[in-house]
């Protein structure tokens, strides 16, 4: 026998939970090197005696601070390079070049981190220069910096607001209806 509560649960699963699971971000298995959460690989290449991976956070940068991480290994042996001097440069199409040193990550010695203030939207040229006892190398990558705005997720936010509002209104109404039914059965 199917009760009203069972029908409600089926509708809840069909209309809310299943679409949520379909929309939610699931990790896809990749054959490439995957960047940690919050970072995006923007260059994977051999530069001189180094095998390098340049990463950027946030993955879709807007005007403001942008963090860069450079992973350095030796090309031939794939051993980590922990004694390099790394410099990060960023230059907009029009404006002054910025500089920051790359500092070793305390946990992973072959990851060098630097942060630059990319305050103008548009095309920027990022350059990482590497120097160590085995030689020199550099990476040059163009990136696009978007303009900072508040209305990027307007539609998604409205949809979420409507769904939450409907849930907060419908659940108390459903509980009230069920309690009236239970009281009516109790009186009979």
pLDDT tens digits, one per residue of 142-188:
999 998 776 656 787 788 889 999 999 999 999 999 999 999 988 87
pLDDT at 33: 52
> pLDDT value at position 164?
94
Is the pLDDT higher at 5 or at 44?
44
Segment 69-110, tens digit of pLDDT: 999 999 988 899 888 999 999 999 988 999 999 998 788 888
How confident is the prediction for the chain on average, in pLDDT? 84
Q: 153 CB contacts (<8 Å, ≥6 apart)?
A: none
In this predicted model, which residue has the larger pLDDT, 38 or 61?
A: 61
Whole-number pLDDT of residue 8 = 73
Q: Please indicate, yes or no, whether the overall pTM of this predicted structure exceeds 0.85.
A: no
One-character DSSP codes across the chain? ---HHHHHHHHHIIIIIHHHHHHS--PPP-SSPPPPTT-EEEEEEEETTEEEEEEEESSS-BSEEEEEEEEEEETTT--B--S-EEEEEEEESSS--EEEEEEEPSS-TTEEEEEEEE-S-EEEEEEEEEEETTEEEEEEEEEEEBPP-S-TTHHHHHHHHHHHHHHHHHHHHHHHHHHHHHHHHHH-
Of the pLDDT bands very low, low, confident and very high (cuts 50, 70, 90), residue 32 is very low
């Amino acid at each position: 026998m199917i009760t009203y509560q069972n029908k409600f649960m089926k509708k809840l699963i069909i209309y809310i939970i299943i679409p949520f699971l379909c929309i939610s971000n699931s990790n896809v298995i990749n054959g490439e090197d995957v960047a940690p959460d919050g970072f995006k690989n923007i260059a994977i290449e051999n530069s001189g005696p180094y095998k390098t991976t340049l990463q950027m956070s946030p993955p879709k940068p807007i005007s403001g601070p942008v963090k860069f991480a450079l992973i350095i290994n030796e090309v031939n042996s794939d051993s980590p390079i922990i004694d390099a001097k790394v410099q990060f440069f960023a230059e907009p199409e029009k404006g002054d070049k910025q500089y920051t040193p790359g500092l070793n990550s305390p946990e992973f010695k072959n990851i060098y981190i630097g942060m630059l203030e990319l305050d103008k939207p548009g095309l920027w040229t990022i350059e990482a220069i590497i120097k160590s006892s085995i030689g020199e190398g550099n990476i040059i990558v163009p990136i696009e910096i978007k303009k900072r705005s508040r209305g990027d997720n307007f539609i998604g936010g409205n949809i979420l607001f409507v769904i939450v509002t409907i849930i907060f209104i419908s659940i108390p109404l459903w509980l009230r209806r069920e309690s009236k039914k239970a009281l009516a059965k109790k009186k009979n």
